[in-house]
Amino acid sequence: MADTVCAALVGATGGAGTTRTALELAATLANDGRDVAILDAAFATQGLADYFDGRLRPDMTRLLVDPETSLDAGLVECSLPERVPGRVACVPASAPFERLARAKTAEAARRFEARIAEAGDAFDHVLLDVPPVAANQAIAAADAAQRVVTVAPATDRGAEANRRIRDRLADLGIETHATLATRGRFEAADAFVPATDAPFPASLDTAGTFAPTVAHAAETTVTAELDLEFEEQSVLDSVDGYLPSSLRRLTK
């Protein structure tokens, strides 16, 4: 497999669905036999922690304020079906306010870059759950990634927010490489993730339209070609123009 690709998923606005998108992309990549880590930079919402039971010790903020704590100690495995050949492991943020403040310092941000490199040595892909860039850890995450992908809801406000976040990243000297739309499509998006009421990981259900569109979004995010199969011929009608030939293999 090619060298590790680290991709920062940067939310264009709050509530864009960046965390769920990161998880579904990771599950899709794992379904292709890849090991994926998700590191949490969204300290304010701590939404990634909601996907795991109990208090997380140590969490992402602990790894940033305590350099002696190993990355392995913070990794929490996602529960995936046994048929999935790869793995997804996350380091969510779940901390009291005092530690959150210390984890947002410039020194902690530099440690974030080191933790990303550490994860890159152990995983095929590293995905970063990044809020709209306005804090040290979010800027550090976006700056350290090889790929920066903005995530925006498919509304007029979402499209405008996407333009603003790309401009903000450019002001910081950070190049953006792609845009993912959530809950629909808009013209500037390179791929999209449909809305779903199904629990995570919905992208492993190959019978509907959700899985192939997420697979295309995963390919766009990490610039990899996935070898996956999908069941419904009608899927191609629903996502026409969004699936590359590598993802048009269907099973009966």
Specify the pLDDT at position 207.
85
Specify the pLDDT at position 234.
47
Q: Which of 28, 35, 42, 32 is nearest to 5 (CA)?
A: 35
Specify the pLDDT at position 243.
54
The yes/no answer on whether domain 5-247 falls in CATH 3.40.50.300 is yes
Q: Which of 11, 3, 26, 47 is nearest to 176 (CA)?
A: 11
DSSP, collapsed to helix, strand or coil, labels residue 45 as coil
Per-residue pLDDT tens over the stretch 104-151: 999 999 999 999 999 999 999 999 999 999 899 999 999 999 999 999
| DSSP track, 88-145 | EEEE-----HHHHHHHTSHHHHHHHHHHHHHHHHH-SEEEEEE-SS-SHHHHHHHHH-
Would you list the domain boundaries of the chain? Answer: 5-247
pTM of the model: 0.92
Specify the pLDDT at position 210.
95
User: Are the beta carbons of 108 and 66 closer than 8 angstroms?
Assistant: no
Specify the pLDDT at position 250.
47
Per-residue pLDDT tens over the stretch 223-252: 999 999 987 544 444 454 455 545 545 444
